[in-house]
Structure 1
Amino acid sequence: MDTTSPQSFETQLKSIQQLIQTAKFNDAILASKKLQTNNTEKAQQVELWYLISVAQRYAKNFAQALVSISELLKLDEHHSRANQEKGFINIALGEPKSAMFSFEHAVKLNPSLVASWQELIELYRDAGQQDNVQKTANQLERLKKLPPALLAVTELMHEGKLLKAEQICRHFLQNNKRHIDGMCLLAEIGMELKVYDDAEFLLASALELEPTHLYARSQYLNLLIRLGKYKAAEQQVETLLNAQPNNITFTVAKANVLTGLGKIEEAIVLFEQAIAQSISQGNNVAGFHLQLGHALKAKGEIKQAVLAYQKAYQINPSYGDAFWSLANTKTYRFSDDEIAEMQAQQGNKNLPIVDEIQLSFATGKAFEDRAQYQQAFHYYQQGNKLQHEINGFDISKIEQQVEEQIKYCTAELFESRGHLGIDSPDPIFIVGLPRAGSTLLEQILASHSQVDGTMELHNILGLASRLRGRNSNVDTNKESQYPKNLHEINPDYFKRFGQQFIDETRVYREQAPLFIDKMPNNFLHIGLIRLILPNAKIIDARRSPMACCFSGFKQLFAEGQDFSYKLEDIGRYYQAYLKLMNHWHEVLPDFVLTVNHEDVVDDLDKQVHRILDFCGLPFEQSCIDFHKTKRNIKTPSSEQVRQPIYKSATEQWKHFEQYLDPLKKVLNIEHSKE
């Protein structure tokens, strides 16, 4: 019998669990250890150490059980049930303080562990921690109110088993169609799986059924903010604040919404109010200072933003986002003490992985600024490796999307359906790869009196996602409905989609006749844009391959650029992008203007005239003097485009050249050449 096959392993695992359930603990331990010798995969070793430890504890071999659970935690320190098991063992060994720590860590990793909360109530009671007893009892009551199926769903979610959680939750809702908590949980799974349309529909439906459900509304608010739908989010946050005017979380959410709407001064006032309120309550929240820093940075008040970020890490020295936000100003230089602090924090084995990733990127930037390139690359590589491991990105999905765009977005499609969209000439799309100079092009254009700068708008990506359907998020082998369905959908839809885009984006504009959408990923959907907005302008912000790819590799993005955390992936993404852009030029001649970043750096005047001519705009000197333009900018390059153009960044990658062979290989680039 092949004991290494997944099916065989699962079968044997069930038989060991049966042995434990029938009190045959020693048999279970022997069977587990035998299976360990035949299965070397980390995940299987983790499962077996867990069963061994449980069996040893039931057999009252507590010291051995502690050794076994410690071996498991060496393999996976974030295993919630292993931390819970360690708590049970420590109770048996008469170590209540250690048990309390283990149970607290377990529920931090997975808040749905009922057994851990139950044990914590007793431990807190014995320790005289009455406040904690009450908080724990409240959490336990909330969990116990959940139907068993939904409790199982929450556990699976926190264990990262999202598809299994979704399956159980959908089955539950088939029999309980109006269950608000079930709808909220399924929406939360949808957000994790990035099936945002499903999540949005579920939460809107839940609120129609129960308008006073604050959790559903706050969840809906958070989703709208994530999607950049700030006008809709503003309505939701006002409703929440009417219900709970003193809720500091809702105040901060409103400040974030106002930042998204470009009402930065109003947002800053609210952030400062929230900070004052939290201090008065004896709880100075580092995250509030961080978000205040983001708003100040967007406004261009970089010195005040730096002070806010520094305050955030002073309150919480392990706050990776505070250090990364300082690095992400691009102009900040870390002190020796700050570098030492970042390195010390990374040595903390209980540091959450998100903080570890942010600290890695920030430390990399600190060493790069000091020309210590080997150290810098070590930290960049470490941060990228960790981020790649948790995001589960598959580059073949993007390559498949590109192939489908080429297959279905043909010259014949545009000939037969290219006249069906809305005539509006308002949008100018800037597309390409992130870190390719798109913010510079946006700043040049937004300095023109007839053009509004906005932000990276999600509207086209959202429309493409709706057209694509759910299967592409779950089954990579199955061809998605979109873009094939562009040949088949009702012709009236193209005008409707175009008008919807104009209507939904109006909130981000001021009074100028034209506006910019600089979402780089829209290069995948130029065919869709052409069909719904045939008079739009599209500018491809292009940068030389090594400079562009490495700049992306050392950037930690807020979300949406998961290809950038592995050198091979980012190289393949760049190649896929080139292939698709060549296709668009072939089937849509003169619809896209390619602007090379290096050309802008070398001859700004010439490229500005070229861009303005393409957009049908008269020349204005303000576009040359773009760095003098006062406007809110929310991208990492915000400080760079507030300065005159500089050439130093074009060759930065060469300092790291010896480490970039995997990227060069994918890009077919020889040593020291592009």
Structure 2
Amino acid sequence: MTILERANQLLSENKLKEAEFHFKSALEADPNQGEALFGLGRIAIRLEKYPQAVYLLQKACQRLPKVLDPLFALADAFDGLEKRSDAYEVLHYCTKIAPHNGESFYRLALHHLTYGYIKKAKQALLNGLGCPDHPVTPYIYYELSQLKGNNVTSKQIAHMHTLLSASRSTQAKVVLHYSLAKSYHNSGDKTQAFAHYRLANEMQYTLCTPLGEGFEQYINTLIAQFSTTFIAEQQDTLKASFIPVFIVGMPRTGSTLLEQMLCQHPSIASLGENDVISAKLMAYLGAVNEAPFPQCMANTNTDIRNRLRQMYVDELTKHQLAHRVVINKLPANFQALGAIQTLMPNAVFIDLRRNFQPMAWSVFCHYFGANEPFFCHMDTLARYYEGYDNLMQHWRDTLGENLITIHYEQLVQEPEQSLRKIFSKLELSYTQQCLRYFESHHAVTTLSRHQVREPVYKDANKAYKEYEQAFSECFSRSVKTRPVHPETDPAALGDE
């Protein structure tokens, strides 16, 4: 094994320090070694050192002319610096030097989708399908199928079936089943659509680690750890320079829609679905206290909490966010609201809720890249929902007015009413521009990047009705929720 082969192996194992040592050793032996520069650039991206990544990858591209992978990585580094025009130029260049490579067009299409240029994205996807079959071809079909309208032809459906028969990749087959399902749905063949949705979910579940029996105990541990008394004792007196807002909830409840509406206000910006709380703050605290979350929260002091707060501010600085209000919309943050409250007493939490059946259907018929069981196994989704529901009731009892409940159903039917409720809490003036969110080109990288470029679709909750009987067979258990709550379950709300 050569030194570069060993370096790449270490990088694939995420052993960054060891990989860096080997890449630097290769570079010392040959200063023009483009592969070593490429490796160091990828490490810089992993470490979120984007200026350094750009420098290294530009050098790598010079030494590896017309090699696509360093160019793709360079575009990613520019995206990390939020230099969208530079990223576009790199990706556009890739399509020129490799006009028969589907991945070049796929990456360009994703760039257009991220910033809301739907027509350009569609053309790039079609150009990609005009290239020879490539491992990325199933993903091109998936993105095309998600665009508004019936964009996939019967010939292309036949091609997907051919790819499905030939593929040896379970993940690729999952993507093809989702793509076929949506394509059949758009063409009006509901029987074939549901069959492929079900196959997609069943196949993806084989790639998942089942949700352990300890999940419910974990929720109970959070409830026990973060009592009203504990949270009060852990808080410091602060004069915050910004208001952190956390939109939490289940998947497919409209968090991207709400985020984009709010971000039309000049005083509001967003980190997107950022895992800094769990991946950095709680990981750091766990290492310091040698205990997992939430037990690691038991032994904190003002100095440690200041360090954690600074880590969060550093994340905002990295993304060049100096707004009065900064949103983090990672849904799974619902598990950490107690910890966040101790660190940021002025935080505002938005519990974005959606009726279970339409929410579950939306999860069922969308492909999530992460192989998590609650994305593709409806009984597991029901368990996850019950845990979320129980924990949110606890947060409602302990966090008081810092927690706002917003319903997807109300948000799409009467958006101004829901938005005014939030703006009142943030002490900001409501602006009608919030309802023109679909005209903006803010970056959106979530599954909703297609829908959020359109005006509010008020009938989304009716979508599962066409499949209601068949979909009910995907559950072997009923969903248990707490008794009806006057705020979280208004009697006026229904599936429609």
Question: For each residue in 1:525-567, what CA deviation from the matched residue of structure 2 results, as whole angstroms up to 9, or x when unmatched?
Answer: 1122212222222212211111112211211123375520111
Find the residue that maps to 1:547 and give its secondary structure.
Answer: helix
Question: Counterpart of 1:608?
Answer: 419
Mapping of 1:353-392 within 5 angstroms?
353-392=170-209
| Contact 1:538–1:591, Cα closer than 8 Å, also in 2 | yes
Change (3 A) 1:257 1:614: same
Question: Counterpart of 1:296?
Answer: 112
Change (3 A) 1:514 1:224: farther
The one of 330, 333, 344 aligned to 2:162: 344
Mapping of 1:123-522 within 5 angstroms?
142=1, 185=9, 188-189=12-13, 199=15, 218=38, 221-222=41-42, 230=48, 232-247=49-64, 248=67, 249-279=69-99, 284-317=100-133, 319-329=137-147, 331=149, 333-348=151-166, 350-396=167-213, 398-419=215-236, 423-463=240-280, 466-467=283-284, 481-510=292-321, 512-522=323-333
Find the residue that maps to 2:351 and give its secondary structure.
Answer: strand
How far apart are the structure 1 equivalents of 2:296 and 2:450?
42
Change (3 A) 1:354 1:334: same
How far apart are the structure 2 equivalents of 1:514 and 1:277?
43
Does residue 665 of the first structure (1) align with residue 477 of the second (2)? Answer: yes
Find the residue that maps to 1:423 and give its secondary structure.
Answer: coil
How far apart are the structure 1 equivalents of 2:464 and 2:44?
37
Question: For each residue in 1:293-339, what CA deviation from the matched residue of structure 2 results, as whole angstroms up to 9, or x when unmatched?
Answer: 00111122111111111222221336211111212345553221111
| Contact 1:326–1:332, Cα closer than 8 Å, also in 2 | no
Question: Counterpart of 1:620?
Answer: 431
> What is the identity, as a one-letter code, of the residue corresponding to 2:140?
A
> What is the identity, as a one-letter code, of the residue corresponding to 2:153?
S
Tell which has more relative contact order, 1 or 2 (C-alpha 8 A, sep 6+).
Answer: 2
Find the residue that maps to 2:122 and give its secondary structure.
Answer: helix
Deviation at 1:575, TM superposition (A): 1.3
| Contact 2:252–2:362, Cα closer than 8 Å, also in 1 | yes
Matched positions, count = 471
The one of 358, 373, 376 aligned to 1:565: 376
Change (3 A) 1:394 1:346: same
| Contact 1:468–1:483, Cα closer than 8 Å, also in 2 | no
Deviation at 1:641, TM superposition (A): 2.3
How far apart are the structure 1 equivalents of 2:324 and 2:124?
36
How far apart are the structure 1 equivalents of 2:269 and 2:181?
35
Find the residue that maps to 1:559 and give its secondary structure.
Answer: coil
Q: Say which one has the larger Rg.
A: 1
Question: For each residue in 1:604-643, what CA deviation from the matched residue of structure 2 results, as whole angstroms up to 9, or x when unmatched?
Answer: 2211111111222111121233333342222222232232
How far apart are the structure 1 equivalents of 2:103 and 2:397?
48
Deviation at 1:448, TM superposition (A): 0.6
Give the fraction of aligned pairs with identical amino acids, expressed as a percent: 23
Q: Superposition RMSD on alpha carbons, in Å?
A: 3.0
- TM-score, with normalisation over the residues of structure 1? 0.64
How far apart are the structure 2 equivalents of 1:220 and 1:571?
43
> What is the identity, as a one-letter code, of the residue corresponding to 1:658?
Q
Question: Counterpart of 1:588?
Answer: 399
| Contact 2:113–2:121, Cα closer than 8 Å, also in 1 | yes
Find the residue that maps to 2:447 and give its secondary structure.
Answer: coil
How far apart are the structure 2 equivalents of 1:314 and 1:488?
59
Change (3 A) 1:346 1:569: same
How far apart are the structure 2 equivalents of 1:260 and 1:520?
22
| Contact 1:454–1:509, Cα closer than 8 Å, also in 2 | no
Question: For each residue in 1:155-184, what CA deviation from the matched residue of structure 2 results, as whole angstroms up to 9, or x when unmatched?
Answer: xxxxxxxxxxxxxxxxxxxxxxxxx97786
Change (3 A) 1:652 1:533: same
**Structure 2 spans left out of the alignment, 5+ residues:** 482-493
> What is the identity, as a one-letter code, of the residue corresponding to 1:256?
D
The one of 329, 336, 361 aligned to 1:525: 336
> What is the identity, as a one-letter code, of the residue corresponding to 2:175?
Q
Question: For each residue in 1:345-368, what CA deviation from the matched residue of structure 2 results, as whole angstroms up to 9, or x when unmatched?
Answer: 2122x4422221111111111112
| Contact 1:420–1:494, Cα closer than 8 Å, also in 2 | no
How far apart are the structure 2 equivalents of 1:540 and 1:206?
47
How far apart are the structure 2 equivalents of 1:288 and 1:400?
46
How far apart are the structure 1 equivalents of 2:240 and 2:111?
36
Change (3 A) 1:316 1:612: farther
Which has the larger share of helix? 1
Deviation at 1:487, TM superposition (A): 1.1
> What is the identity, as a one-letter code, of the residue corresponding to 1:413?
F
